[in-house]
Amino acid sequence: MQERDFVVSGIHIGEHSFEPENVIAEIKERCVDNGLDFVTIRTRDIPVPKHYFIEWAKYLTENKIYFTFLYTTHNAPKGTKSQFDKETVAEMKSIAGKYFVGDILGELGSALACKWKGYPTKLPMPQDANSLSEAKQNYLEKIQYHIDIDKELGIDNVLTVEATALSKYNLEAGTAIPLLELMCGNPEILVSALRGTARAYGSELWGTYIAHEWYGGMRHDDILKQKRLLLAYRYAYLSGTNIVCLESGDESLESYGFKYPAEHEYCRQYQSVVRDFAKLTKEDKRPKGGPKVKVAFVQGNLDAWGSWGGSSIWNQFDKEEWGHSGPEYAWRILEELGTKRNWYDIANYGINDLSSAPAYGMYDAIPAESSSEAMSKYDYLIFVGWNTMTEDIYDNLEKYVSNGGTLFMLASHLNTKDKRGEDIELINNGNVEKLFGCKLSEDGIRTNAGVKFVRDGLKDNLLYPGTLSYVCDPIYSHGYASYAMVELKDGFPVARLSESFIETEEFSDLPVAIVENKLGKGTAILLTSLEHAGSGSIYPLYRAMVREIVTAGHRDNSIKVYGSDRVRFAVYEGDVIYLLNTDYDVEANVVIEKRGEVMRETIRPCELKRV
């Protein structure tokens, strides 16, 4: 029998007001009476008498409610490092056992690495970092400061609630359970990054904070904002979250100059969604293990793209090289997943249009620093964003491909420099013969040529827009770009640079744009661009490759789901499929093919359906 997943849902106390003497009454009214089983208590910078922590722990445990605290170190009372002392923590642990989940560090990624310089913080980042490595280390030290306080007090699990894609650095610093704040940034990208990072670091739990009052929209009276709250909960559940917590909105709405009490219809809607979701988590036996995933995007070493907040990485202000540019723009590729390729896209192949989703519906984003074992969980790895290549990462990629994986990256991802704006220095002096079957030289060519593909590469399921004669227009030309010079060894060129309809020289003499190589059981694919994937001149070609690789994984999967691209889906053990119609207004139709069996499903607007 399939083991049931761990899922709890609840509320956050302390967003708009915090009165220790009223906390138990608030837990009863907002949590116990609504069938919820999780609470976060947010303390302020005024000392909380210790007996309250003990009383709360007893009450929550008696009612089988999991709980954690927030901002106990960030907003510690003056002259202290935390609201807690060792004795209080020890007594709470003794009373609550598993119900005391831990202590949450709040929004450090956005505060310390993704904000604008006008945002105050108690721990400002040092400016004028000399390298990405130094900037990262400064960040880690800020996180570790808080972790050390909690660990010294005896807190086993330090959690982070993060509004950005920087959870991997929080886990590297020593936190245990990552949480994501929805709806800051693109929730589908950020949930995928959180889930992939949690899997890579072996976190047993991960969760989502529903910060809908502030980030679901600025108009509380907007009907679509209200529907979006429902979708946020259902998407979190579909994607495998273990802990779901509403930040605010059910007790009052007090943002953007408005103030609505709990009795107001807008707050009632929050209350209704929370109750219905708690009922779902109890009645539905979601299989343990999270959604199946075949495709992972790789968040590179020293990549500080956060998705949400300001556009200066690592909070380094006033110097343009630290601003978002080509590496960060590459992440836009993930905004396209979930939408079908246009009907007129000649590079969209297959019997059915499967281009809107990867195999099993979900993708992960994992750290480049992941072990080869963590990488091996995925059939496809696709690099995106900045990466400073190291020998360890490179060795793990060789192991991954040798064991049967398919890797796609750019020559710029092989750069070993950890400074932005400098010339590229390729790993192994460009000798990547084992992995990519060629030698590269940074002294490449700069051209605004397009490319011509071969018809058939080394992988049968990758369908390139190629011909048999190479008499055709070059495609994907979007301005000048720099490519490495390629000396082929065992690598097979699947695309070459061209500026002519009919070649005046042998096709085999044209510069190589994309090379494939067989290594062991797997295949490594390299786009030879020295530009970053988000560069305007390279992105169209990068996009075409990514969309085909993602589609190929879906194309050869045993389960296919296609039809409306407003439907998000996830597949769990036992062939349990969850379908979510993200359209606010109309029904969506999908076809499910499973090992020869064909099913057709209609999903109502905003409906989550289990098949």
What is the tens place of the pLDDT at every residue in 306-337? 988 889 999 999 899 999 999 999 999 999 99
- Whether pLDDT at 367 is above 80: yes
CA-to-CA distance for 258 and 218, rounded, in angstroms?
A: 10
Mean pLDDT over each residue of the chain, to the nearest integer: 95
For 254-297, what is each residue's pLDDT tens digit?
A: 999 999 999 999 999 999 999 999 999 999 999 999 999 999 99
Strands (E), 348-390: 363-367, 380-384
CA distance 134 to 503: 49
Q: Position of tokens 């009612």?
A: 63
Return the closest-CA partner of residue 122 out of 68, 181, 179, 73.
73
- Cβ neighbors of 576 (< 8 A, separation 6 or more) are 2, 286, 287, 610, 611
547, 556 in Cβ contact below 8 A?
no
Place 370 in a pLDDT band, splitting at 50, 70 and 90: very high
Mean pLDDT score, 354-366: 97
pLDDT at 24: 97
Print burial letters for 199-210: b (CB count within 10 Å at least 16), e (below 16): bbbebebbbbbb
Residue for token pair 């704006």: 421
Q: pLDDT digits over 565-586, tens only?
A: 999 999 999 999 999 999 999 9
Per-residue model confidence as pLDDT tens digits over 7-30: 999 999 999 999 999 999 999 999
CB-hemisphere CA count at 13 Å for 430?
Answer: 18
Query: Given a cut of 80, is residue 1 above it in pLDDT?
Result: no
Residue positions counted in the chain = 611
Alpha-carbon distance of 330 to 334, in angstroms, equals 9
In tens, the pLDDT along 217-243 reads 999 999 999 999 999 999 999 999 999
Residue 41, pLDDT above cutoff 90: yes
The token pair that represents 113 in the structure block: 């690495």
Name the pLDDT band for 118 (thresholds 50, 70, 90): confident
Q: What is the mean pLDDT of residues 403-415?
A: 98
ω into residue 389 within 30 of 0, thus cis? no
Q: What is the DSSP string of 485-511?
A: EEEESS-EEEEEEE--SS-SS-GGGSP
> CA–CA distance from 258 to each of 221, 253, 255, 423 (Å)?
11, 7, 6, 51
pLDDT given for residue 117 in this prediction: 86
Question: 70: which 2 tokens?
Answer: 């927030």
Of the pLDDT bands very low, low, confident and very high (cuts 50, 70, 90), residue 344 is: very high
What digits encode the pLDDT tens for the residues 330-339?
Answer: 999 999 999 9
- Against a cut of 0.85, is the pTM above it? yes
Using CA atoms, how far apart are residues 201 and 169, in angstroms rounded to an integer? 11
Summarize pLDDT for 435-467 with one digit per residue, the tens. 999 999 998 999 999 999 999 999 989 999 999
Alpha-carbon dihedral of residues 297, 299, 304, 307, nearest 10 degrees?
20
Tokens of 183: 């709806």
